[in-house]
């Protein structure tokens, strides 16, 4: 299995026979090298969205059409888009599980908001979500944009993820200290990868606080854009 950061909250996860592009915001992402776009999209099988904000879903329709792959996410959003755009949508809801190329993807709760930018202000875009992605002997928790939630307690018990991709940049999501607390209290991760940080000056620029707050033996990997992490 390979996990590759696309900058901000975007990831490419190669698991089982799937290549999942999670929140692949590439256009206008200051961390993503535009000249390497084809490399990021090569072989993609699905686009998986956590919510509708532009720094997560801004490129989703373009990529789904260009790569001729399904857009997967909140029922309200993903089942609406195919009626307006020439794409395939796989819409489901919290607690639901879909099979994507041999990987099992379960939608779980997040605590944030979700909207699209409309001409007269925000437009409802379904609910925010996280995902448990199981395959190749691992379960990856993709938190999406979120704060700490009591729901993380049962999520850790039921899904037992060994890898946590945690939003931790602060201001819009958990900060590094809160993400470390969530990891300690609710999960038994072997590896933690921070995201939604470093993109803008407003966000945390390193994960030192997260690293210091993790339990002994938990490996923190600060990802580098387009450098695969192999498990």
Give percent of the chain with pLDDT exceeding 70.
99
Residues in the chain: 231
Measuring CA to CA, how many Å separate 31 from each of 26, 170, 186, 189, 203?
Answer: 9, 17, 30, 27, 13
pLDDT exceeds cutoff 90 at 145: yes
Q: What is the pLDDT of residue 3?
A: 98
Residue 122: pLDDT band with limits 50, 70, 90: confident
Q: What is the pLDDT of residue 230?
A: 98
* Interval 183-210 mean pLDDT: 98
* Interval 121-150 mean pLDDT: 94
Cα angle: 30, vertex 208, 150; to 5 degrees: 90
Q: What is the pLDDT of residue 164?
A: 98
CA dihedral 78, 82, 88, 92 (to 10 degrees): 20
pLDDT tens by residue, 221-230:
999 999 999 9
27 with 36: CB under 8 angstroms? no
pLDDT exceeds cutoff 80 at 172: yes
Q: What is the pLDDT of residue 130?
A: 98
pLDDT exceeds cutoff 80 at 213: yes
Q: State the Cα–Cα distance between residues 50 and 23, nearest whole angstrom.
A: 7
* Interval 213-227 mean pLDDT: 97
* Interval 138-150 mean pLDDT: 98
Q: What is the pLDDT of residue 82?
A: 67
Q: State the Cα–Cα distance between residues 89 and 48, nearest whole angstrom.
A: 10
Q: What is the pLDDT of residue 204?
A: 98
CA dihedral 50, 54, 56, 58 (to 10 degrees): 110
pLDDT tens by residue, 67-90:
999 999 999 888 877 667 778 999
Residue 191: pLDDT band with limits 50, 70, 90: very high
């Amino acid at each position: 299995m390979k996990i590759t950061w696309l900058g901000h909250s975007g990831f490419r996860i190669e698991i089982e026979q799937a290549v999942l592009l999670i929140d692949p915001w590439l256009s206008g992402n200051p961390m993503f090298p535009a000249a390497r776009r084809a490399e990021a999209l090569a072989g993609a099988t699905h686009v998986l969205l956590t919510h509708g904000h532009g720094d997560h879903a801004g490129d989703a329709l373009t990529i789904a059409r260009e790569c001729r792959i399904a857009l997967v996410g909140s029922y309200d959003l993903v089942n609406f888009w195919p009626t307006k755009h020439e794409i395939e949508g796989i819409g489901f809801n919290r607690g639901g599980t879909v099979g994507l190329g041999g990987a099992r993807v379960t939608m779980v709760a997040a605590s944030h908001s979700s909207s699209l930018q409309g001409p007269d202000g925000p437009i409802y875009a379904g609910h925010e979500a996280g995902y448990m992605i199981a395959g190749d002997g691992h379960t990856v928790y993709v938190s999406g944009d979120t704060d700490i939630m009591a729901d993380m307690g049962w999520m850790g018990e039921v899904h037992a993820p060994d890898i946590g991709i945690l939003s931790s940049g602060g201001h819009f999501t958990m900060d590094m200290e809160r993400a470390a607390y969530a990891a300690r209290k609710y999960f038994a991760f072997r590896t933690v990868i921070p995201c939604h940080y470093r993109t803008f000056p407003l966000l945390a620029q390193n994960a030192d606080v997260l690293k210091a707050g993790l339990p002994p033996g938990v490996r923190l990997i600060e990802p580098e854009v387009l450098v695969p992490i192999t498990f």
